[in-house]
Every structure is written in C-alpha cells, then in structure tokens.
Amino acid sequence: MYTQQRQTKVFFEKNAKNWQKKADIKKNKKLNTIQERNFYVVDKIKLLKINSLIDIGCGTGDLSFDASKIINESVGIDFSKNMINLAKKKFKRKNLKFYNDNFFNFDPGQKFDCLSANGFIEYLSLKDIKRFINHSKNIVKKNKYIIFGTRNRLFNLFSLNKFTQNEIKKSSFKKFYEESIALAHLKFDNFRNLKKNKFEEVLFKQPKTGINVDRRHQFSPLQLIDLLMKYNWKPLDIYPINYHPVVPIKYNDKESRIFSNFIYSSKDKNKMPYIPFSSSFMILAKNE
C-alpha cells in the first residue's frame, strides 16, 4: 500500500467513532458535508429509479442504510475495519451488506444500478483514480450510474487563503477562473463540452484542513468531466456541496451552515453558479 492510502487508513481507523457522530443525521440539526452528499445520492436514487447501490468507502454506513430503505439491495465497502464494525453494529437490514475490503481487491460478483463514492477519490493516487473510474464500469450496469462527491479545486480561487496564494502563482489559475465564469453562465451540456481543464494533480503542497493525510486531491468539475468522458461515462449533473457564504476565515460552522443548507435545498434548478463558492461538489454520470 502506498503512503497516501496508508495514511488514509490510519486516519480513518483512528477517527471512525468521531466520523460516525458527524454522519449521524439525528445528532446534527443542520446538514454537514457528509449529509449533503448522502442526501444528493438518495435524491438521485429516487429520481433515476435506482434499485441497487454499492457505496465505495462507505465509512460508517449511513448512506448504505438510508438507501436500503428505498431500494432492493444496498452494499457498503470500506477498508477501515473500525468503520465497517460501527456500520455493522448500528445498521441491520436483510437487504444491506457491509464488507471490510479494499476497493481494488474486492469482487462484488454482480453489477449494480449505481456505484457511489463520497469523499473517496481524494485519497487515491492519480493512477488509482483512473483505475477506479475504469473498473467501476465493470460494476455498474449498462446505462446506469456512478455518483461521487469530491473536493473542489475551484474553491481555492475564492477561499482567499493559503490555497489562493498558491493557485495565483500557477499558470493554470486563468483556466480555473474561466471555468468558474463558465459555471455562472452556461447550461450543463455546453459546460461539459468545454474540455478546458485536463485531469491532473494540484501542483503545490496543500495546507491540511482537519484530515491528517498529506495528499488529499482537489479537482475542478471540468477535470473530472474530462476523465469520465475518456472512459466513456456520460456526465449528467454537477451539484454544489458545502456552499460558503463568506471566506473560510469568517466561516462559522454553525451559522454559515444555514446558508449552505439554504442553497443546497432551494428549489433553484440551476445550482451550477454556486459551485465555485462550494468546497466540494457532486458529479453524476451514466455508463454508456
């Protein structure tokens, strides 16, 4: 196992209990990042009539459990033993299974209507992210879906902090800024075809934000769209997660979250313009 994955495993083994508290909807009055992501997947399950789900890096199993209440079959896998033990202890249903395994060694032996993976790809090498996108095609049925949530590199341009200071020195800054402008003005179909930003790593040492893993990737929507299209996935939707009404230095988790939840759940059909100001985003694509 390489350093990035080893550090990830160590971190989540140690922090499983804490993660469980954060993921528990009853213990949090306002939705946090974990819950906004999980709700997005549940919404799409209903909308797209998904009947079977495999959640990769399922953590403490909250999404797998919520999904199992509305679909035929729900599976969660995670390489952290502590995470899976907490999930198994708390959530029991006949149509719900949890496995303690590494995604890259796991053979589910069947195909699913949907593969989800929230907060997962940031902990993989670039080579493994490509393997993940490619291998997922063998796990998802034809014309069915992949949904994942990940950190947003565009937010670096608007967070006005050390991330911004690093980005502004890079020649890629202008392209990411143009991508942000495009999000404010284009419909998704036109945005998807811009092919502006290639899939690549952030080329500076990123400051740590709460999770003790040296390398935690950030990508822009177009970078992931570029990658998905290379592996013949058709991107269908992107959605802001953890919208910031103010810069992080002024972001008070409790109060600012009201704004994030407001934007998240408002009936506004076009949420793309909010993405540059959101620290994460979701992406939905179809297996073509």
Ligand X SMILES: C[S@@+](CC[C@H](N)C(=O)[O-])C[C@H]1O[C@@H](n2cnc3c(N)ncnc32)[C@H](O)[C@@H]1O
Q: Which is nearer to ligand X, 59 or 235 (CB)?
A: 59
Rounded Cα–Cα distance for residues 62 and 51 (Å): 17
Q: Which is nearer to ligand X, 8 or 220 (CB)?
A: 8
Shortest Å, Cβ 170 to ligand X: 26
Site mask for ligand X (CB under 6 A), range 55-94, x = bound: --xxx-----------------xxxx--x-----------
Instruction: Give one DSSP letter per residue of 220-276, joined into a string.
Output: -HHHHHHHHHHTTEEEEEEEEEEE-SS-GGG--HHHHHHHHHHHHHS--S--GGGGG
Shortest Å, Cβ 173 to ligand X: 27
Rounded Cα–Cα distance for residues 272 and 140 (Å): 26
Partnered with residue 53 across adjacent β-strands are 74, 114
**Stretch binding ligand X (CB under 6 A), from 44-52, 113-121, 155-163, 202-210:** 113-121
Instruction: Please tell me whether residue 7 binds ligand X under the rule CB under 6 A.
Output: no
Helix, strand, coil % in the chain, rounded to nearest 5:
50, 20, 30
Strand order in the sheet with 96-100: 96-100, 73-78, 52-56, 112-118, 140-151, 278-287, 233-243
Q: Do 210 and 189 meet the contact criterion of CB atoms below 8 Å apart?
A: no
Tokens of 151: 């950190």
Site mask for ligand X (CB under 6 A), range 127-156, x = bound: ------------------------------
Partnered with residue 243 across adjacent β-strands are 278
Shortest Å, Cβ 44 to ligand X: 15
**Stretch binding ligand X (CB under 6 A), from 54-62, 88-96, 165-173, 260-268:** 54-62
Instruction: Please tell me whether residue 228 binds ligand X under the rule CB under 6 A.
Output: no
Shortest Å, Cβ 144 to ligand X: 20
Contacting ligand X (CB under 6 A), which of 123, 191, 219, 239? 123
Q: Which is nearer to ligand X, 129 or 183 (CB)?
A: 129
- Angle (CA) 116-225-260 rounded to 5° is 65
- In the chain, the amino acid numbered 44 is K
Contacting ligand X (CB under 6 A), which of 7, 37, 53, 215? 37
Identify the CA nearest to 66 among candidates 85, 82, 44.
Answer: 44
Q: Do 66 and 58 meet the contact criterion of CB atoms below 8 Å apart?
A: no
Q: Which is nearer to ligand X, 16 or 157 (CB)?
A: 16
Q: Which is nearer to ligand X, 120 or 158 (CB)?
A: 120
Size of the site for ligand X (CB under 6 A): 21
Q: Which is nearer to ligand X, 57 or 180 (CB)?
A: 57
Q: Which is nearer to ligand X, 68 or 118 (CB)?
A: 118
**Region of residue 59 (left: phi > 0; alpha: psi -120 to 50; beta: else):** left
Instruction: Please tell me whether residue 39 binds ligand X under the rule CB under 6 A.
Output: no
Q: Which residues bind ligand X (CB under 6 A)?
A: 5, 8, 12, 23, 34, 37, 57-59, 77-80, 83, 102-104, 118-120, 123
